[in-house]
Amino acid sequence: MYRPIPAGGIDPAKIAIEIEQVRQSDRFASRSSSLPTWCPGCGYFGITHALTSCIHKLGRDPDEVAFISGIGCAGRFPYFMRTYGFHTVHGRALPVATGLSIANPELTIFVVGGDGDGVGIGGGHLPHVSRRNVNIVYVLFDNSIYGLTKGQSSPTSPTGFVSKTTPYGNTDAPIDPLVMVLSHGATFAARGFAGDIEGLEKTLIEAVEHEGFSFIHVLTPCVTFDKVNSTWDHLWEKTKGLPEGHDETDRAGAIKLAIDSPYTLGVFHRVQRPSMNRSLEQTKIKASGK
Ligand SMILES: Cc1ncc(C[n+]2csc(CCOP(=O)(O)OP(=O)(O)O)c2C)c(N)n1
Ligand code: SF4
């Protein structure tokens, strides 16, 4: 796993060489000239790094990729990319991405957004995209808090979590986004961590290569508004790899693992089923009477 500060400390000369190597390469060709407006130390920088590396490694040109987002700190993501992008309204990235996927099946489409956007206000769309197997990659930036609006509890905040909206402790039980998509038939479901950039990049590449709906639940800290729950320290300490011999095709096993093991990283479930895009092609042929 990548650690922000190496054990022996930082060597400025080595960093300068690495920065120059990055400048010379086209590794960040998909990034725009707008620098992210996120707080220093936010986990979203790690996710951005993994996403740009994924696009680079897959050899996709920026005009072959689209990022669709809702609202939130994570929702600002499309501004920081030179790909196509659409910053839609709160919780509505999935229906917009579904339409785009049907209109232009050649595009590699990523949906990006926070836990509030994706499983709160937008949560009603997640079951349907899962069961329809729409050919998009959904990267859920889950910091278990509303960041942009300054630190309210979200649907993934743990019970007892103290925040601006729950000063005496959250009384609600959290939603597990992985259990949610698996219950509704997602064909690719994985978990990543903003600190494990190499692992996340690998999972993203596999998600893009999967035909159908690919969901990646990414654990990430909000360093400004959460000092106790999903912090860098806690996430480094708790995250771990999949158990030996994990069977990706066993959906019930994947659901059980997601319930029992909220900090396990990797591909929980992967099966093949016709995507909505492919099924619609068949419907078109049937409707044309050929
Ligand atoms: C219809 C609507 N309701 C509420 C809001 C206010 N609002 C903006 S972002 C947000 C939540 C953001 O949290 P999350 O999706 O977890 O993303 P983060 O900011 O943590 O990346 C809310 C409630 C809004 N913009 N629109
Ligand atoms: S408020 Fe939290 S989620 Fe938003 S940019 Fe800052 S650290 Fe990141």
- Which ligand has the shortest distance to the CA of 150? 2
pLDDT for 1 beyond 60: no
pLDDT at 219: 98
| Among protein residues, the one whose CA lies closest to atom 6 of ligand 2 | 39
Q: How many degrees, rounded to 5, is the angle at CA 63 between CA 58 and CA 67? A: 80
Whether 102 is covered by a domain: the verdict is yes
Whether 19 is covered by a domain: the verdict is no
- Which are the contacts of 237, defined by CB distance < 8 A and separation ≥ 6? none
Q: How confident is the model at residue 210 (pLDDT cuts 50, 70, 90)?
A: very high
Whether 192 is covered by a domain: the verdict is yes
- Which ligand has the shortest distance to the CA of 117? 1
Query: Rounded distance, CA 222 to CA 145, Å?
Result: 7
pLDDT at 14: 87
- Which ligand has the shortest distance to the CA of 139? 1
> How far away, in angstroms, is 147 Cα from ligand 2 center?
5
Which tens digits make up the pLDDT trace of 175-190?
999 999 999 999 999 9
**Ligand 1 and 114: CB distance under 6 A:** yes
Whether 5 is covered by a domain: the verdict is no
| Among protein residues, the one whose CA lies closest to atom 24 of ligand 1 | 90
**Ligand 1 and 226: CB distance under 6 A:** no
Whether 18 is covered by a domain: the verdict is no
Q: How confident is the model at residue 148 (pLDDT cuts 50, 70, 90)?
A: very high
Model confidence, pTM = 0.94
Mutate to test the pocket of ligand 1, among 42, 44, 90 (most ligand atoms within 8 A of CB): 90
CATH number of the domain within which 235 lies:
3.40.50.970
Which tens digits make up the pLDDT trace of 275-289?
999 999 999 999 998
Whether 257 is covered by a domain: the verdict is yes
> How far away, in angstroms, is 258 Cα from ligand 2 center?
26
**Ligand 1 and 71: CB distance under 6 A:** yes
pLDDT at 2: 47
Q: Which domain holds residue 190?
A: 29-287
Whether 24 is covered by a domain: the verdict is no
Tally of domains in the chain: 1
Q: How confident is the model at residue 28 (pLDDT cuts 50, 70, 90)?
A: confident
Which tens digits make up the pLDDT trace of 85-96?
999 999 999 999
> How far away, in angstroms, is 281 Cα from ligand 2 center?
41
Q: How confident is the model at residue 3 (pLDDT cuts 50, 70, 90)?
A: low
Whether 34 is covered by a domain: the verdict is yes
Which tens digits make up the pLDDT trace of 12-26?
898 888 888 877 888
Which tens digits make up the pLDDT trace of 219-245?
999 999 999 999 999 999 999 999 999
Ligand 2 pocket, Cβ-based, cut-off 6 angstroms = 38-39, 42, 44, 73, 143, 147, 222-225
